[in-house]
């Protein structure tokens, strides 16, 4: 079978858009189907867009923390590739966890 693979992705939220993006980068011809007039109009529309540790601490779940750091790197790369994402980078201090008790 010659030519590029044709793949249809259903749903133009952040997940469908990401799947379509990565498939296209891998060389597929992708059609993204969205039932709303505009992509990103489902749950994605209401997202605060936060990439963060939330209530968890890095030491409690290092794998999740590494994934979040990787996501920030991906956003930086996408920012350059897609020509300026509407985003703001901010820091946060999460306090009050058991891991943060002072040592005696």
| Interface with ligand FAD (CB under 6 A) | 10-16, 33-36, 41-44, 46-50
In the bound state with ligand FAD, the residue whose beta carbon lies nearer, of 10 and 62, is: 10
In the bound state with ligand FAD, the residue whose beta carbon lies nearer, of 67 and 100, is: 67
SS (H, E, C) the chain: CCCCCEEEEECCCHHHHHHHHHHHHCCCEEEEECCCCCCCCCHHHHCCCCCCCCCCCCCCCHHHHHHHHHHHHHHHHHHHHHCCCCCCCCCCCCCCCHHHCCCC
Smallest gap, in angstroms, from Cβ of residue 84 to ligand FAD? 20
In the bound state with ligand FAD, the residue whose beta carbon lies nearer, of 31 and 47, is: 47
Smallest gap, in angstroms, from Cβ of residue 58 to ligand FAD? 17
Smallest gap, in angstroms, from Cβ of residue 26 to ligand FAD? 19
């Amino acid at each position: 079978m010659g030519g590029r693979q044709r793949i249809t992705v259903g749903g133009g939220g952040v997940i469908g858009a990401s799947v379509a993006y990565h498939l296209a980068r891998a060389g597929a011809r992708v059609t993204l189907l969205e039932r709303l007039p505009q992509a990103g109009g489902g749950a994605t529309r209401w997202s605060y867009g936060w990439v963060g540790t939330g209530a968890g601490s890095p030491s409690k779940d290092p794998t999740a923390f590494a994934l979040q750091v990787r996501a920030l790197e991906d956003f930086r790369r996408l920012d350059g590739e897609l020509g300026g994402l509407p985003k703001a980078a901010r820091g946060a201090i999460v306090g009050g966890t058991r891991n943060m008790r002072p040592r005696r």
